């Protein structure tokens, strides 16, 4: 019995649940501001995550678009599980969620500025 319990609890000890309060606050803010929640599944050892942080996500045009239309949250998937039972296939992955908790789009991979802006425009249409 103890062994079964340990097997059930082990994943919960290794991977904490994403801070539900932060996510709920983001959803409330998205609803109030008529925005979309954008979760980035990331990890410290992900080369392409770091590349996007240094390039695409720091670009002023991308930052302006993110600030105007999205509530952006990063989740370190080596430490936390994604909210809503969401799954990821690779890092980085970008998951767009409505304030009503509906997944609008899931996009895996790293993107250059032009392509990422096209994705963002596609989501807000």
Summarize pLDDT for 3-36 with one digit per residue, the tens: 433 333 334 334 455 578 889 999 999 999 999 9
**Closest alpha carbon to 91 in 63, 110, 106, 72:** 110
Tell me whether strands 80-81 and 16-17 are parallel, antiparallel or unpaired.
parallel
Closest to 2 in 3D by CA, of 105, 10, 82? 10
Question: How far, CA to CA in Å, does 70 sit from each of 67, 89, 97?
Answer: 6, 22, 10
Q: Is the pLDDT of residue 46 over 80?
A: yes
Q: What is the assigned CATH class of domain 16-124?
A: alpha beta
Give the pLDDT confidence of 75-123 residue by residue, as tens digits: 999 999 899 999 999 999 999 999 999 999 999 999 999 999 999 999 9
| Burial environment of residue 18 by CB neighbours within 10 A (0 to 12, 13 to 18, 19 or more) | buried
Q: Which two tokens mark 107? A: 């996009």
3: left (phi over 0), alpha (psi -120 to 50) or beta: alpha
Q: What are phi and psi of 80, to 5 degrees?
A: -135, 150
- Let me know: does 56 contact 65? Beta carbons within 8 Å: no
* Structure token pair of residue 11: 């994943």
Q: What is the pLDDT of residue 21?
A: 87
């Amino acid at each position: 019995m103890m062994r079964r319990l340990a097997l059930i609890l082990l994943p919960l000890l290794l991977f904490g649940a994403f801070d539900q309060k932060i996510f709920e606050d983001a959803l409330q803010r998205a609803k109030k501001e008529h925005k979309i929640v954008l979760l980035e599944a990331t990890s410290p050892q992900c080369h392409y995550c770091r590349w996007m942080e240094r390039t695409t996500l720091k670009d002023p045009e991308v930052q302006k678009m993110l600030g105007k239309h999205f509530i952006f949250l990063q989740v370190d998937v080596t430490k936390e599980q994604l909210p809503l039972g969401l799954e990821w296939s690779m890092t980085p992955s970008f998951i767009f969620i409505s304030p009503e908790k509906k997944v609008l789009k899931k996009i895996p991979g790293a993107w250059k500025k032009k392509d990422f802006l096209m994705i963002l425009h596609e989501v807000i249409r």
